[in-house]
Amino acid sequence: MTSSHDQELEMFRDMIQRFLKEEVEPHYEQWEHDHLMPKEFWQIMGAAGILLVDMDERYGAANTNLDVAMMIQEEMCAAGYHALATGYNIHANIVAPYINNIGTQEQREKWLPGMVTGKVVTALAMTEPSAGSDLAALRSKAIKDGEEYVLNGSKVFITNGIHADMVVVAAKTDPTAGAKGVSLFMVDTSLPGFSVGKKIEKMGQHSSDTAELFFSDVRLPANALLGQEGRGFIYMMEELPRERLGCAMQALGHTRGALKLTADYVTQRIAFGQKISQFQNTRFKLAEIKIELELCQALVEKYMVKFAHDEMTVEDAAVVKYATTEMQLRAVNECLQLFGGYGYTAEYPISRFYRDARVQTIYAGSSEIMKEIVARGVVGR
């Protein structure tokens, strides 16, 4: 018997698939060519009701559940729109929960409704030129001055950085306290002293908006502080599981999409008088991908249940991100190989799948950091 939960999930899945077919497919190649998705598309997503779907109705959201929010990213990636999923993940799956879970009611009412409609685009600014996965090494500072904070510093590799109307920024409020001196701020990008560097060009996810941000004596009101002063690092650790689950769901969707593209290709392509799909090597490679995909699907489902019960740990998140994204890279690499020379051409979408996947084992915590986190759970520091 199908539960109402499953019916809701499939209803949203049908909706997002239609949306991608009608609103994204006709334009995506142009966005990739332009190396930027137009900002207006955020409001198109908002009008379709696919932004912040698991937030409360009082903010104009659908008030559905985490499964739907994750599925949307999965379907974007399965269709080959990984860059879109990355920007969506930051805005709807990361920044929104930060505000909803940590912010005051006043802050929620100020930002979430606009985020639901897409009139407000958001970004998360943690990474710096000299501090990537090591968030305790941040150099950006927000020093108290009367009733305000004065923010100085820079951030790099910031998804949605060009289009962002508001950026959640991690900065040191006590530069002498290490990780305990980090705080979070909601920075209105219209404030004097905020500026955006040129768009960062990447090997993949070309239409994803990625930029360097600069803060020069940006004066922030006291109510720009998100949560409590000095607890920013703790908040980031608390929110990382959901961020890494998002990466895992993207990996599943992207691999599923690559596998379908490849299966379609090898059943049509003829070599040495027979379809490529009839060669044992082809069949075994595709079988291996399918098996790894199923294993990772089961792993994600396990941790989705733990997350729903507020039991998912940072170590759990490291396990699921490492397993799924490394699987994604292996799978897409094998899929491209089965296309032969055609796979290396821009004409065939599998080449974009290959390029877009590569960053998955780097952002949101590199694979090396994931293994270190897991190792600490096994043998300690």
pLDDT at 1: 44
317-362 residue pLDDT tens: 999 999 999 999 999 999 999 999 999 999 999 999 999 999 999 9
Tokens representing residue 317 in the block: 């998140």
Q: In angstroms, how far is the first alpha carbon of the chain from the final one?
A: 48
For 252-290, the pLDDT digits (tens) are 999 999 999 999 999 999 999 999 999 999 999 999 999
pLDDT tens-digit series, residues 228-261: 999 999 999 999 899 999 999 999 999 999 999 9
Instruction: Work out the pLDDT band at 137, boundaries 50, 70, 90.
Output: confident
Tell me if the domain spanning 4-120 has CATH number 1.10.3980.10: no
* Domain 233-379 coded CATH 1.20.140.10: yes
Collapsed DSSP state (helix, strand, coil) of residue 26: coil
Task: Compute the distance between CA of residue 100 and CA of residue 306 in angstroms, rounded to an integer.
Answer: 20
pLDDT, average across residues 99-106 = 97
Q: Please state, in angstroms and rounded to a whole number, the distance separating the CA atoms of residues 354 and 357.
A: 5
On average, the pLDDT of the chain sits at 95
Q: Does 135 score more than 70 pLDDT?
A: no
Cα–Cα dist 9/202, whole Å: 34
Q: Is the pLDDT of residue 307 over 70?
A: yes
CA 190 to mean position of chain CA atoms:
24
Q: Which fold has domain 123-228?
A: Butyryl-CoA Dehydrogenase, subunit A; domain 2 (2.40.110)
Q: Which residues are catalytic?
A: 243
Domain ranges of the chain: 4-120, 123-228, 233-379
Least confident of 78-82, 238-242, 281-285, 366-370: 238-242
